[in-house]
């Protein structure tokens, strides 16, 4: 049985997530972000439009792993993050997100994880990387 | 999270620093659901969680649904791309801390501050804050670095 997210230790497996972003999902994000820049919309020249970067942020959240789970009484809080792009994601292309627990630590008596995530394309080239600092805290009654 | 208020970007110690303000975002439940509720058209949309549903938010000890931290980060992206151009996708980066929360009815204002002449031209300060100064996300963004190592 897989562990809850807050129980993971360095080296524990996290299931990867394979995905492709459709034009509809991309445009849903444009509405969510109030960002309708033409770079994110279908192009006349046939080149695939750019996926809104906020979707890449989402797809690099460890919550997107099929194996992610937390118990009802625990909340995972994103406190700090680093992000780097190597190229824009494109609508319709196939990608995979992978994660690893880089370290576990305690801060102000709360357990933290440093999660390193990477999106790569079908050729295995890194497209984006993210480092997440996550705190796990009991939910208020 | 603390109710952190910020020193205005505009009160930078170096008066020559350029401050760019992005489009204010009026946070609404509809936009929270669009961001955090899964793909529209999925049976049972939106997925119920503390970002999309009042009852789930209250069960988590919140007064109302809150925006995902990534949604607030996304508000700043347009400014970063204005500053560095689409070339930023080819090696650009940022580093931010999440210190506040947004709920429906809040207004989120992304801001960018470029250092004055003579300082590092490849790094800018970024933040997302509310009109009352309440800070949501802050950090820095950097121009592209080519290596993928």
Nearest-angstrom CA–CA distance, B96 and B69: 10
CA distance A34 to B107: 12
Q: What is the pLDDT of residues A34-52, one digit of tens each?
A: 999 999 999 899 899 999 9
**Element (DSSP H or E) covering residue B110:** strand B107-114
CB count in 10 Å sphere of residue A76? 18
Chain A CB contacts of B100 below 8 Å: none
User: What is the full per-residue pLDDT of chain B (149 aa) written as tens digits?
Assistant: 555 666 667 655 555 567 889 999 999 999 999 999 999 999 999 999 999 999 999 988 899 999 999 999 999 998 999 999 999 999 999 999 999 999 999 999 999 998 766 667 789 999 999 999 999 999 999 999 765 55
Site from B42, B49, B77, B101 to mutate, A interface, most A CB atoms within 10 angstroms: B77
Question: What are the tens digits of pLDDT across the range A74-92?
Answer: 888 899 999 999 999 999 9
The reply to whether residue B98 touches residue A53, judged by beta carbons under 8 angstroms, is no
**Whole-prediction pTM value?**
0.91
**CB within 8 Å of B57: residues ≥ 6 apart:** B50, B51, B63, B64, B65, B66
């Amino acid at each position: 049985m897989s562990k809850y997210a807050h129980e993971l230790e360095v080296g524990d497996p996290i299931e990867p997530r394979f995905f492709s972003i459709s034009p509809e999902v991309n445009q849903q994000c444009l509405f969510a972000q109030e960002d309708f820049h033409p770079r994110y919309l279908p192009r006349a020249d046939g080149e695939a439009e750019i996926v809104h970067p906020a979707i890449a942020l989402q797809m690099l959240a460890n919550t997107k792993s099929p194996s992610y789970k937390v118990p009802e009484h625990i909340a995972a809080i994103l406190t700090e993050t680093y992000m780097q792009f190597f190229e824009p994601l494109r609508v319709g292309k196939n990608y995979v997100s992978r994660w690893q627990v880089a370290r576990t630590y305690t801060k102000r008596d709360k357990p933290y994880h440093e999660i390193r995530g990477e999106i790569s394309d079908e050729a295995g080239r890194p497209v984006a990387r993210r480092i997440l600092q996550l705190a796990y805290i009991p939910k208020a009654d | 999270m603390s109710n952190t208020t910020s020193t205005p970007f505009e009160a930078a110690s170096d008066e020559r620093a350029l401050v760019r303000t992005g489009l204010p975002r009026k946070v609404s439940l509809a936009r929270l659901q669009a961001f955090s509720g899964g793909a529209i058209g999925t049976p049972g949309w939106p997925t119920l969680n503390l970002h999309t549903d009042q009852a789930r938010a209250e069960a988590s000890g919140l007064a109302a649904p809150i925006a995902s931290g990534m949604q607030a980060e996304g508000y700043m992206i347009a400014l970063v791309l204005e500053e560095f151009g689409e070339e930023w996708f080819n090696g650009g980066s940022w580093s931010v801390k999440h210190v506040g929360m947004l709920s429906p009815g809040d207004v989120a204002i992304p801001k960018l501050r470029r250092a004055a002449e003579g300082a590092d031209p490849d790094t800018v300060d970024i933040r997302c804050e509310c009109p009352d100064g309440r800070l949501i996300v802050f950090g820095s963004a950097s121009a592209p670095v080519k290596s993928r190592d």
